[in-house]
Amino acid sequence: MAGNALLQPLQVGTIVLKNRIAMSAMTRNRAPRGYPSNLMKEYYIQRSSAGLIVTEGLLITRQGTDYPNAPGIWDEKHIAGWKDIVDAVHEAGSKIYAQLWHLGRLSHPEAPEQKLAGVPVYGPSAIAARGGKFRGLPGTPGFVKPSAIEDPWTIIAQYKQAAVNAQKAGFDGVELHAANGYLVMQFLDNTSNQRTDKWGGSVENRCRFGLEVLNALIEVFGQDVGIKLSPAGGYNDVGMSLQDTLDTYSYFITEADKLNPGYIALVRYSLMTNERFDGVLRATGHDVFESYPHLIKNARVFLNSGISPEEGHQFVSEGKADGVFFGFSWLTHPDLVGRIKRGHPLDNALDFLRLIPEDGEQDWSKGYVDYPMYVQS
């Protein structure tokens, strides 16, 4: 595709991306007990034609995720492991942000890591998620009653420490995971946040936590901070009325943009987000890409979810977006940029069952680093 707008460089914060084809965070659960490995390094190096790689979610503290091998960024061994990967990605010519992740009420009290953490499962309010996954863990969704966080500043400090750690590991920046029903989104959403203090209730109060976390990350990384939002909701039992959604996200995005982050990434509705409870669809049916980008004046606008290269080119050339995140397309095509550049097909099928290795699977390389490069037939 000659003249593809996705192939143009882009300044984001203080760095220049060599193209606008970014790789979004994807949980792959291949960090043994949370520590980065050589296999992960190989996976990220393979994808270093990306203008920007955002890592899978990095847990900012020890938590009982249903992914026993999700990586962390809270201790020195994590920092050293990530530094090795970051250095290799830099050497291979790409830029890499760490995605900072706190599960909030989606953690599990009986997961070994949560027990080791010695703290309760936290949420903005003591309201259980009816969604969520319980891979190999006891109970069913709805069983985990979170404890309301007493003082949100303690958690904000943990995010800030994780950013300091990411900086020590040499990351180019951090992305705040404020999407998909995890902790920051739990504060934004009036079905999961029913606090009566200054962190709940009004739009301004529900937005306070995410904005304070973003501010703390910017104190560490300056402009080299991104934030990911999924206003259409629907995943992990979040989702508000259309009016509450528009009011909340319009305010949040406007205020976040005033803090001058590097980018704001907006995720549109997808099939992943169409959970139903008691017959009621949790996702809010509105066009995320039409509703919010015009509010963003300072940050770069990135769009995400099920975008094809053709659509991405169109968004960028029409000025609707500065860049595009691809997820599964990167997962299945390590040479995604080369394929887009040369008009080669994206014809590797997703090995869905190996997105996350099965329990007991010995060879984690399958469905991870073995997706083939394009071969002319």
Interaction of residue 270 with ligand PHB, rule CB under 6 A: no
Per-residue x/- track, 295-314, ligand PHB (CB under 6 A): --------------------
Nearer to ligand PHB, 108 or 341 (CB): 108
Two tokens, residue 49: 């034609």
In the numeric block, the tokens 């990586």 are attached to 71
Catalytic site residue from 43, 44, 182, 292: 182
- Which of positions 161-180 make contact with ligand PHB (CB under 6 A)? 179-180
Closest to ligand PHB by CB, 27 or 167:
27
Instruction: Determine the Cα angle at 170 with ends 208 and 178, to 5°.
Output: 25
Provide, rounded to whole angstroms, the least separation between the CB of residue 180 and ligand PHB.
Answer: 4
Q: Which residue, judged by CB position, is nearest to ligand PHB in the bound state?
A: 180
Element (H, E) at 250: helix 242-258
CB of 273 to ligand PHB, least distance (A): 9
Report the half-sphere exposure of 186 (CA within 13 A, side-chain side): 27
Residue closer to ligand PHB by CB (options 6, 249) is 249
Q: Min. distance of Cβ 305 from ligand PHB in angstroms? A: 11
Does position 365 bind ligand PHB by CB under 6 A? Answer: no
Catalytic site includes residue 122: no
Closest separation in Å from C-beta 224 to ligand PHB: 21
Site string for ligand PHB, 23-42 (x = CB under 6 A): ----x---------------
Give the other-Cβ count within 10 Å of 11's Cβ.
Answer: 12
Q: Which is nearer to ligand PHB, 180 or 291 (CB)?
A: 180
Count of residues touching ligand PHB (by CB under 6 A): 4
Q: What's the closest the beta carbon of residue 354 comes to ligand PHB, in angstroms?
A: 14
Pairwise CA distance, residues 240 & 232, whole Å: 9
Query: What are the angstrom distances between the C-alpha of 125 and each of 116, 183, 196, 362?
Result: 23, 11, 10, 39
State the amino acid at position 158 in one-letter form: Q
The verdict on 57 binding ligand PHB (CB under 6 A) reads yes
Cα dist from 196 to 177, 200, 202, 211, 239, whole Å: 24, 6, 9, 18, 20
Q: For tokens 């250095």, name the residue.
A: 87
Nearer to ligand PHB, 5 or 229 (CB): 229
Nearer to ligand PHB, 27 or 205 (CB): 27
| Whole-Å CA distances, 185 to 67, 137, 200, 325 | 20, 24, 12, 20
Find out whether 65 and 102 touch, Cβ atoms under 8 Å: no
We find the least distance from the C-beta atom of residue 314 to ligand PHB, in angstroms, to be: 26
* H-state helical runs in 98-195: 112-117, 152-168, 183-188
Annotated catalytic sites, by residue? 182
Site of interaction with ligand PHB (CB under 6 A): 27, 57, 179-180
